[in-house]
Amino acid sequence: MPTATGKTGVIGALSVAILPTQWTLVLTPWANLCQQMIEDLSARFWTSRGWLPPAIPAVERLFPSTLTEILDKKDTNLVVVATFATLVAIYKKQRPQYTELSKHLSQVFVDEGHYEPAVEWGQAVKQLEKPTVLLTATPYRNDLKLFRVDKKDVQHYTHKEAEDESVIRKVEFLEMEHAEPTYGKLATWCKEFVKFW
């Protein structure tokens, strides 16, 4: 799905708006994306759309050091957000708790899913043995080769489709008056860009 076409909305709809029977795990590659996802799923995404689901489950950040505390929670619905590195660390060093976490999960969402083929963390995701949705705006050659995803389970939402359906606006390219500068001769080009911006 291209940038700005609603990957967070997909995660939100399937983990918050339509409450699953158990917990949801959302994985992102970086800590700042974890924080953004927590803020979006807790309220920001919903209020920006002018609608709040009837029941928003708690959204918690998972670290290896907080895993035991999270596993002690009695919530029937919980959204747990972690980095890939956190899941790998738990998989490698806290295997009994990793197995317990897996028992609590009903689904897994992977933001920036094009990173998934990395062997080490790909194993940590696959060993959860839960339905997993990989979301990315970054297509690349042979992107399905290491995913082991059946072709019928793959959906590509193209940039053109998003434009045609008015999900995102058409991109307009404007040529700058000055040619792209060589290193050390940026001043004129930067001034023109700042003036335009």
Give the mean pLDDT of 138-153: 63
Q: How confident is the model at residue 141 (pLDDT cuts 50, 70, 90)?
A: very low
Given a cut of 50, whether residue 110 has pLDDT beyond it is: yes
Q: What is the largest CA-CA distance in the chain?
A: 62
Give 136: exposed, middle or buried? Use CB within 10 Å, 0-12, 13-18, 19+. middle
Which domains are delineated in the chain?
Answer: 7-170 (3.40.50.300)
Q: How confident is the model at residue 148 (pLDDT cuts 50, 70, 90)?
A: low
Strand partners for 60? 80
Look at 91 and 137; give whichever has higher pLDDT: 91
| CA neighbours closer than 13 Å in the CB half-sphere of residue 49 | 14
Given a cut of 80, whether residue 73 has pLDDT beyond it is: yes
At which residue do the structure tokens 């994306």 appear? Answer: 33
- Give the percent of the chain with pLDDT over 90: 40
Give the mean pLDDT of 174-183: 79
Amino acid at 50: G
Strand partners for 81? 26, 61
Specify whether the CB–CB gap between 57 and 78 falls below 8 A. yes
DSSP 44-61: IHHHHTT---S-PPEEEE
Give the mean pLDDT of 29-52: 90
At residue 139, the pLDDT reads 63
At residue 155, the pLDDT reads 80
